[in-house]
């Protein structure tokens, strides 16, 4: 597939790509862990601190008004990004993990009871496993797991068998960080709704690769992190349907989330502030808007097409490497290439590639149960973003050959 992106000029937007690592120009293939930030996001961060740093919502001075307006503009920008019906359905969080914990703690504790069932999948990130385990332990609920096939695809027949009238919640990853699999979430949601269950999607990976439309998906909750979409660390959002968020109690207490406090009783603020206790991550929220503008300027379809080309190129190129096995060969997948090589431990692989200036992720990628499913302890994962090139993939392939000569 061709696309009209000028990758050389895009690379110029990311200052960090000029870094020299171990005497070599950095090759950054750890984008599924976090993406790099374009200059306009960095400028937005320093611009906020240099020109209008102030605490939001309560101040009436000029800087506070400017900061508040930029903060709320970001909320509307994220609303548009997800095609959410209302701005108050966008809750600012510290990231995907925080959003999932919010739902498990607030919705889960309020509406689930002993004997109710929660469904997740084999390919969940720990952040979409542990909060549900904690909830199930506390409430006496039952956690059920959708199995996968050897390609790394969910077994939808098995999923249907798990659904019963006791299923109250389904929480699945939209796109797997370890395998790249794009899950058939629309179907998952429709089937869950048919038995009356609510659905959360972990959108940490999907948000940088796929067009998102929460109304079309009809998901009840969607959690994501901006640092994986060329935005700052330490912030994300939780989308939730208004009627659900309205019915949910606050998750943390403090300033900002209240209407009135007396020692006898506190009344809570309305949405979205009810869930945003304390001073939020104002600078990062403000800068997030610029990351989304950047993505929109390039066009998500163009980004996806370029990444797809890189994935196909890399998938083909690694076929030459003897003993290499790709983990995750779903028909529908994003630009994540996870693999193991016979006789070479992933950790040694990571160290030796780093010596050549190539940043990959090695290990279990916060998906230990998934690694167990494949009978491995971890993989080497190269994950591609818009600024990566086929020349960099050639360097990776050379690097892998070198590692094989050294260790094989
Ligand atoms: C990164 C990631 C998370 C966790 O995101 P945080 O930003 O660390 O909260 C959850 N799920 C998936 C699929 C991820 O890739």
Domain boundaries, the chain: 7-30+299-407, 43-295
pLDDT at 136 over 50: yes
Contact yes or no for 143/169 (Cβ under 8 A): no
Question: What integer is the mean pLDDT of 14-29?
Answer: 97
Whether ligand 1 lies within 6 angstroms of the CB of 89 is answered as no
CATH code reported for the domain at 43-295: 3.40.640.10
Whether ligand 1 lies within 6 angstroms of the CB of 202 is answered as yes
Percent over 70 (pLDDT), the chain: 99
CA of 173 to the centre of ligand 1 (A): 10
pLDDT score for 155:
98
pLDDT score for 403:
94
Q: The tokens of 178 are what?
A: 């370890």
CA of 97 to the centre of ligand 1 (A): 6
226-282: pLDDT as tens digits: 999 999 999 999 999 999 999 999 999 888 888 889 889 889 999 999 999 999 999
Give the number of other CB atoms < 10 A from CB of residue 238.
27
pLDDT at 395 over 60: yes
Q: How far apart are CA 274 and CA 89, in angstroms?
A: 11
pLDDT score for 12:
98
Question: What integer is the mean pLDDT of 35-57?
Answer: 97
DSSP designation for 183: P
Is-same-fold flag (7-30+299-407; 43-295)?
A: no
pLDDT at 170 over 50: yes
Contact yes or no for 163/187 (Cβ under 8 A): no
pLDDT at 382 over 80: yes
pLDDT score for 210:
96
CATH code reported for the domain at 7-30+299-407: 3.90.1150.10
On average, the pLDDT of the chain sits at: 96
Interacting residues of 316 by C-beta distance below 8 A, sequence separation 6+: none
Please give the number of the atom of ligand 1 that sits closest to the Cα of 176. Answer: 13
Q: Which residues of 262-301 are buried (b: 16+ CB within 10 A; e: fewer)?
A: eeeeeebbebbbbbbbeebbbbbbbbbbbbbebbeebebe
184-231: pLDDT as tens digits: 999 999 999 999 999 999 999 999 999 999 999 999 999 999 999 999
What band does 175 get if pLDDT is binned at 50, 70 and 90? very high
pLDDT at 327 over 60: yes
Query: Can you tell me which residue has the tokens 């945003």?
Result: 276
What band does 328 get if pLDDT is binned at 50, 70 and 90? very high
Question: What integer is the mean pLDDT of 389-401?
Answer: 97
Whether ligand 1 lies within 6 angstroms of the CB of 204 is answered as yes
Per DSSP bridges, beta strands 167-173 and 117-121 are parallel
pLDDT at 317 over 50: yes
pLDDT at 2 over 50: no
CA of 167 to the centre of ligand 1 (A): 25
What band does 58 get if pLDDT is binned at 50, 70 and 90? confident
pLDDT score for 276:
95
Whether ligand 1 lies within 6 angstroms of the CB of 179 is answered as no
Q: How far apart are CA 293 and CA 38, in angstroms?
A: 11
Least confident window among 55-64, 302-311, 319-328, 364-373: 55-64
Q: What is the dihedral angle through the alpha carbons of 307, 308, 313, 319, rounded to the nearest 10 degrees? A: 120
- Is 219 catalytic? The answer is no
CA of 23 to the centre of ligand 1 (A): 31
| Catalytic position from the list 136, 141, 219, 366 | 366
Contact yes or no for 104/134 (Cβ under 8 A): yes
Strand partners, 380: 339, 362
Contact yes or no for 149/155 (Cβ under 8 A): yes
What band does 1 get if pLDDT is binned at 50, 70 and 90? very low
Mutate-to-test residue for ligand 1 from 97, 233, 361, 368, highest number of ligand atoms within 8 A of CB? 97
pLDDT score for 3:
60
């Amino acid at each position: 597939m061709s696309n009209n992106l000028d990758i050389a000029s895009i690379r110029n937007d990311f200052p960090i790509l000029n870094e020299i690592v171990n005497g070599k120009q950095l090759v950054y293939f750890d984008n599924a862990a976090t993406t790099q930030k374009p200059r306009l996001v960095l400028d937005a961060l320093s611009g906020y601190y240099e020109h209008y740093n102030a605490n939001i919502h309560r101040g009436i001075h000029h800087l506070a008004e400017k900061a508040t307006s930029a903060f709320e503009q970001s909320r509307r920008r994220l609303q548009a990004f997800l095609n959410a019906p209302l701005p108050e359905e966008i809750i600012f969080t510290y990231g995907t993990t925080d959003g999932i914990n919010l739902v498990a703690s607030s919705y889960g504790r309020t509406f689930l009871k002993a004997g109710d069932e929660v469904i997740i999948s084999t390919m969940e990130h720990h952040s979409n496993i542990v909060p549900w385990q904690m909830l199930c332990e506390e409430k006496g609920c039952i956690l059920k797991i959708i199995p996968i096939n050897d390609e790394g695809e969910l077994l939808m027949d098995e999923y249907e068998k798990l659904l019963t009238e006791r299923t109250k919640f389904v929480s699945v990853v939209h796109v797997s960080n370890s395998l790249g699999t794009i899950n058939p979430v629309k179907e998952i949601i429709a089937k869950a709704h048919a038995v009356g269950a609510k659905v959360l999607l972990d959108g940490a990976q999907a948000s940088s690769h796929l067009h998102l439309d929460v109304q079309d998906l009809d998901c009840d909750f969607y959690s994501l992190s901006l640092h994986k979409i060329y935005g700052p660390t330490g912030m994300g959002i939780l989308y939730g349907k208004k009627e659900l968020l309205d019915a949910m109690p606050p998750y943390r207490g403090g300033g900002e989330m209240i209407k009135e406090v007396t020692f006898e009783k506190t009344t809570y603020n309305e949405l979205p502030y009810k869930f945003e206790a304390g001073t939020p991550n104002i600078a990062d929220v403000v800068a997030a808007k610029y990351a989304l503008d950047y993505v929109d300027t390039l066009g998500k379809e163009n980004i996806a097409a370029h990444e797809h080309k890189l994935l196909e190129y890399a998938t083909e190129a690694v076929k030459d490497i003897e003993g290499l096995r790709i983990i995750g060969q779903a028909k529908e997948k994003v630009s994540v290439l996870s693999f193991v090589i016979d006789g070479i431990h992933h950790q040694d692989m990571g160290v030796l590639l780093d010596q050549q200036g190539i940043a990959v992720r090695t290990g279990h990628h916060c998906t230990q149960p998934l690694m167990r499913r494949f009978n491995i302890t971890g993989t080497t994962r190269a994950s591609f973003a818009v600024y990566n090139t086929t020349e960099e993939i050639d360097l990776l392939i050379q690097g892998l050959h070198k590692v094989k000569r050294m260790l094989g």
